[in-house]
Structures are given as C-alpha cells and as structure tokens.
Chains A and B, each alone.
Chain A
Amino acid sequence: EDQVTQSPEALRLQEGESSSLNCSYTVSGLRGLFWYRQDPGKGPEFLFTLYSAGEEKEKERLKATLTKKESFLHITAPKPEDSATYLCAVCSGGGADGLTFGKGTHLIIQP
C-alpha cells in the first residue's frame, strides 16, 4: 500500500524567511511525485511533477527536489501570498490509477 507522510503539519514563517517542507513516501514502483497548492475552499492547484531521484523543478520562489525516499519543497524568501496548504501525492505502478495524497503542510507567511 502506497503511503505519503508530510511534515511539518503546520509552519509559520516571517516574510523572507526561507524553509523546506518534507514529503516522505513508500510506493511499489514510483511513476511520479506531485506537489499541489490548495487555498481554503478551493481545489488543489498543480505545481510540479517529479519522476526520478535527483530531479529538480522550479517555479518562482518554489523548488521541488526528489530522492528515492522523499521530496522537499523549498520556499525561498516567501511572501504572504505563498500562504496555503501544500499537498504531496504519489502515483505508483502497484495500485489504482489515482493519486495517493499526504495530509498536507499548512504554511502561513506573516508580513
């Protein structure tokens, strides 16, 4: 059974204070690891897909990295508008063709 664990559950940062969110996973054959952003009351918004260990992707202040056991979402010099819940999900070759999600990290950036 695929499992995804995200940490921390919540994180409060000052504007400009860089940090990282963690996503640990166990899967039977990783087909892809996904990061989404979710604002309150809205649907998840796609950010990145990572396919293999060593891969990195960047978008504005966000950078996602992947190892064989975990992924990190690095946020550099965050702004208040980066406040959201960040979700990590995996798709594997061993299960149904949906995504298995973690519970998310609730990120608050204070001005």
Chain B
Amino acid sequence: DADVTQTPRNRITKTGKRIMLECSQTKGHDRMYWYRQDPGLGLQLIYYSFDVKDINKGEISDGYSVSRQAQAKFSLSLESAIPNQTALYFCATSPWGTDTQYFGPGTRLTVL
C-alpha cells in the first residue's frame, strides 16, 4: 500500500547542512502531520497542517520548518541539521471528520 510515500527513505548528512524530507499522499486527505521517533521514546509531533493555507507547530518544532505545497504534498526542512536530530521521521495523514491517522513508511535520518 503506497498511499503515503516518503522520500528519501534513508539519508546521511553532516552537521550544518540543510535537508528536506518530502511526503506525498494519494488518499485525498486534507490533514497532514510530521512526527519524529527516537529509540525508546514515543512519536513526537513536529508540525501539522489542515490545508494548504494552514500550518501549526507541534510540541517539538524548534529547528524545523514545513511547507504545504499542495493538498497532497507536505515537506519538512531542517535548516541547519544537528546530531540530535538523528531520528526516524514519519509523515501521517487524516481525513476530515476523524482523528485517525495513517502513516507513511518513514525516513531514517542520520546527522553526523
């Protein structure tokens, strides 16, 4: 099932580099989310968007920015990557009328 796709799937970068993670969906859902997952911790919300004109910060937005280019595309940027941003990053979508979220396969990011 490739309703939610994330690119790249794996990325290794260096401290100080700018990096963009992309998420695309074919589910037709309006709401999109970015989470990060660290070993032994729960998923934490970074940013979310209800439509192209709506962007909201989550609990850990510092050091990140997002862009909602279209209903189907939501990108996460690290302006100047640092090692403690090494984590698994997940995109999720949700249709109006429900809080159930559907997750993509994830991007494993390593910052050296």
In the bound complex, residues from chain A placing their C-beta under 8 Å from that of B41 are 103
Contacts of B101 in A (CB 8 A): 34, 46, 98-99
| Cross-chain contact A104 with B42 (CB below 8 angstroms) | yes
Nearest A residue to B100 via CB reads A49
Is the CB–CB distance between B104 and A98 below 8 Å?
no
A86 on the B face (CB < 8 A): no
Enumerate chain A residues within 8 angstroms of B56, measured Cβ to Cβ: 96-97
Taking a contact as CB atoms under 8 Å apart, the answer to whether A101 and B58 are in contact is: no
Interface check B74, CB cutoff 8 A = no
Query: Any chain A CB within 8 A of the CB of B19?
Result: no
- Cβ of A61 within 8 Å of any chain B Cβ, yes or no, is no
Contact B104 A91 (CB under 8 A): no
* Residues 62-98 (chain A) with a chain B CB within 8 angstroms: 87, 89, 91, 96-98
Q: Is A42 an interface residue (CB 8 A)?
A: yes
In the bound assembly, the distance between CA atoms of A98 and B93 in angstroms comes to 10
CB distance from B87 to the nearest CB of A (A): 13
Interface of A is mostly: strand
B100 to chain A, nearest CB (A): 5
Known contacts A32-B99, A96-B56, A97-B31: A43-B48 contact under CB 8 Å: no
The chain A residue sitting closest to B90, CB to CB, is A43
Q: How far is the CA of A49 from the CA of B101 in the complex (A)?
A: 10
Q: Does B45 contact A (CB under 8 A)?
A: yes
- B31 — nearest CB in chain A belongs to which residue? A97
User: Among A31, A101, A103, which residue has the most Cβ atoms of chain B within 10 A?
Assistant: A101
